[in-house]
Amino acid sequence: MSAVAEIGLDDIRRAAEAGAGIIRRTPVLSSRSLSERCGGTIALKAENLQRTGSFKLRGALAKIAALGDGCANGVVAASAGNHAQGVAYAARARGVACEVFMPIGAPIAKAEAAAALGAKVLLTGGSIEECLAAAYARAAEGFAFIHPFDDPDVVAGQGSLGLELLDELPELARIVVPVGGGGLSSGIAIAVKSQRPEVEVIGVEVETCAPYVASRAAGEAVGVEPTLATIADGIAVKRPGELTYPLIERWLDGMVAVGEDEVAEAMVWLMERAKLVVEGAGAVGVAALLGGQVAPAEAGTTAVILSGGNVDAGLLAQVARRHESQAGRRLVVLTKVPDRPGALGRLLTVVGETGANLVDVEHVREGMDLHVRETAVQLVLETRGNDHAQDVLATLGGAGYDARVLR
């Protein structure tokens, strides 16, 4: 039997039963603003509100249940964060020892969360591939290995989310789902299309690391080597899975990729409009709708999977500041003033008359072409939007200040 045929609806239903009492049925939220902007009827499946902050708990519980006595010595996993937390939570719930190997550069919050759930966290190497090698070596010593996606039981567990969608959205017509290793997207597609084959499932990757998009273009499974870090680190998988690649080729109707800037804007949109904290990997579906890579279904409901909410507060703040700057609500200005008493006060008086709020001010005396009697001043201002920001700049120019906007 081929790998494509090994996972069926009955497997997914059993996996759902394995998670009963622990898995939280996450809410489906209507989104009027997203529907109006993109057209169609759009709903958000808030899996970012799942226990541990992502869908990964579903697959971990299904795998531990399938292992039975095979995990008596404990379980081991390799992960950049979300899978580690899911396995740690599932192991604690089932009374099983747990070790997770994470890259040295893994988000601190995710490593601390896995440790707080009782896992022994081992920071190993600089990539998930090195962590996988270490985890396999540990498994050879008697631990049961839980793969983050390339495992039939894990895929079946993730597919339980698809069963919920069918229960909650009777008019379901299209699903937009993040794709990393492919376990979530293929599991959902099997669960839904086995019962409603007319429902479309569209996968979304991030352009920085999009092996499934590349594989479809090449006609075979190919790997990618990202040259930049991605804001969607939770789906930064370099090569399609041996199991999940044929599943995705069979069950998914399409695959697209979105840019880093689009992901950042989707994260901010979800914070501002839906009041949801969603990590970059979880926001790519919304990014695809806002960016036009995916259109909502012409009839029926389009469901967007928000697959995780585990994002460092520092990154979230950076994304928010960037958005405020692009929207014109945060203006960073560099100008020059005479280096003598009262010059800064006069500049700030002009700024105050514009109605902008001064957030920060800093003298810059090095690294610039300045006269010996000049100093540069950097201002961080809050404005009411792009029109107000332009008024502020015009007022500064009219007062004799050569103001340069910094991004």
Residue 230 phi, psi dihedral angles, 5° rounding: -120, 145
CA of 25: how far to CAs of 37, 45, 144, 191, 315, in Å? 28, 10, 28, 16, 28
Q: What is the CATH number of domain 3-53+155-320?
A: 3.40.50.1100
The string of pLDDT tens digits covering residues 179-188 is 999 999 999 9
> Is the CB of residue 78 less than 8 Å from the CB of residue 100?
yes
What's residue 2's pLDDT? Answer: 42
The string of pLDDT tens digits covering residues 224-252 is 988 788 999 889 899 999 999 999 999 99
DSSP 241-305: -TTHHHHHHHH-SEEEEE-HHHHHHHHHHHHHHS-----HHHHHHHHHHHHTSSPPPSSSEEEEE
> Is the CB of residue 88 less than 8 Å from the CB of residue 100?
yes
pLDDT at 4 over 70: no
The string of pLDDT tens digits covering residues 127-147 is 778 999 999 999 999 999 999
* Set 56, 110, 193, 336: catalytic member: 56
Tell me the C-alpha distance between 271 and 350, whole Å: 34
- 307 included as an active-site residue: yes
| DSSP code at position 356 | P
Q: What is the CATH number of domain 56-145?
A: 3.40.50.1100
DSSP 188-207: HHHHHHTT-TTSEEEEEEET
**Architecture label for domain 327-406:** 2-Layer Sandwich (3.30)
- 45 included as an active-site residue: no
This model's pTM is above 0.95 = no
Nearest residue to 188 (alpha-carbon basis) of 202, 198, 169: 202
- Report the 10 Å Cβ neighbour count for 325: 17
Selected residue with higher pLDDT from 86 and 234: 86
Q: What angle do CA 292, 177, 237 make, to 5 degrees?
A: 105
Domain boundaries, the chain: 3-53+155-320, 56-145, 327-406
What's residue 228's pLDDT? Answer: 81
Query: Taking all residues of the chain, what is their mean pLDDT, rounded to a whole number?
Result: 92
What is the arrangement of strands in the sheet containing 330-338, beginning at the earlier edge strand?
Answer: 357-364, 374-382, 330-338, 404-406
Selected residue with higher pLDDT from 315 and 275: 275
Place 365 in a pLDDT band, splitting at 50, 70 and 90: confident
Q: H or E segment at 377? A: strand 374-382
pLDDT at 286 over 50: yes
What's residue 367's pLDDT? Answer: 66
**Fold equal for 3-53+155-320 and 56-145:** yes
Location of structure tokens 């299209």:
174
